[in-house]
Amino acid sequence: MAKVILFDLDGTLLPMDTEAFIQTYIKELAPRVSHIIEPQHFVPALWAGTEAMMKNLDPSLTNERVFEETFLKVANVKKEEIWPALDHFYDAVFPTFSHLSQPSTVAKKIVDEAFSQGYRVAIATNPVFPKVAIHHRLQWAGVADMPFEMVTVYEESTFTKPHTHYYEDICNRLEVTPEECIMIGNDMQEDMVVSTMGMRTFLVEGHVIDRGTATYSIDESGTLEDLYERIVKRTGVFAK
């Protein structure tokens, strides 16, 4: 019987076009640090740091450290020169991106119902952003005040999706097996890869991402409204 529900955030609990969001994020961030590093040098460094996080499989290194070391080396700047500007961006500018998402009131109802039925609940969002940025997105989704057992952020995570190491780390920290978890997400590769570990899956429709690079089995799929109904009625993967 499932004990834990893992929710993806972007495109799942928080409906959005992730690609459009990332494009806006970079477009707005680069000019705000241009007094320190020119955009044509900043953007490649940002992507290099992100790629390093995505490839890292060293459990002794947090995603934050991997990003920081790679980014600073490629950008050829010192942390004290640019980090205050990045911190200000996440505190003051990032929150204004809320208009790029389409929050659904159903998301909070889903999480509330999961808690009321006794599930342990965690947010399994790809931890390539700082805690502050992920908190803002939880606020947009209307679930920031929920008592999640875990929210994966880059300061505290050592792996990223779609590596199964990422999900194994979550299971280890929650002291459960993959078979005791249900993963709810919108990404055919990054989220549904958990089926190879024995986790059950629910694919949220509306903003499905499918790169066509791998195919994994999906137990169930549907809209957020469908998901809510199945949790309430305890059917399918939520059957007791």
Question: What value does the mean pLDDT take over residues 173-186?
Answer: 98
Give one DSSP letter per residue of 157-219, joined into a string: -S--TT-HHHHHHHHHHHT--GGGEEEEESBTTTTGGGGGGT-EEEEEPSS-B--SS-----S
What pLDDT is recorded for position 191?
98
Question: What value does the mean pLDDT take over residues 144-161?
Answer: 97
pLDDT, one tens digit per residue, over 2-18 is 999 999 999 999 999 99
pLDDT, one tens digit per residue, over 95-116 is 999 999 999 999 999 999 999 9
pLDDT greater than 90 at residue 1: no
Of 86, 157, 169, 121, the closest CA to residue 12 belongs to 121
pLDDT, one tens digit per residue, over 186-231 is 999 999 999 999 999 999 999 999 999 989 999 999 999 999 999 9
What pLDDT is recorded for position 184?
98
Residues recorded for the chain: 240
Name the architecture of domain 4-16+101-238. Answer: 3-Layer(aba) Sandwich (3.40)
Distance CA 191, CA 201 (A): 8
pLDDT greater than 80 at residue 60: yes
Percent of the chain with pLDDT over 70: 100
- Report CA dihedral (69, 17, 183, 222) to the nearest 10 degrees: -170
Residue 55's pLDDT band (boundaries 50, 70, 90)?
very high
